[in-house]
Amino acid sequence: MLYYYCNMKLKIIALFIISGTLILSLLSTPVHAAKPRIQKSAPAVSKKVVAGVAYSTAKLSSASRSVIVSFSNLDNVSKISYMLSYTGSGQVQGVGGAITPSGTTDSRDLYFGTCSKSVCTPHYNIRNATLTVTVTLKSGGVRTKRYILRPKW
- Please check whether residue 125 lies inside any domain of the structure: yes
Does residue 22 surpass a pLDDT of 90?
Answer: no
121 within some domain: yes
89: domain CATH number is 2.60.40
Domain around 133 = 56-149
Flag whether 6 is in a domain: no
* pLDDT at 8 (0 to 100): 74
Confirm whether 43 is domain-assigned: no
pLDDT, position 18: 77
Averaged pLDDT score across all residues of the chain? 82
Evaluate whether residue 91 is within a structural domain: yes
Which has the higher per-residue pLDDT, 5 or 140?
140
Total domains present in the chain = 1
According to DSSP, residue 61 is labeled E
Burial class, 77, CB count within 10 angstroms (exposed 0-12 / middle 13-18 / buried 19+): buried
Average confidence (pLDDT) over 80-89: 96
pLDDT for residue 47 is more than 50: no
In a domain, 45, yes or no: no
**Amino acid identity of 68?**
I
Query: Distance between CA 107 and CA 109 in Å, rounded?
Result: 7
Q: Report the C-alpha gap between 146 and 85 in whole angstroms.
A: 11
Is 142 a domain residue? Answer: yes
Q: Is the pLDDT of residue 97 over 90?
A: yes
* Higher local confidence (pLDDT), 135 or 44: 135
Q: Give a yes or no: residue 95 inside a domain.
A: yes
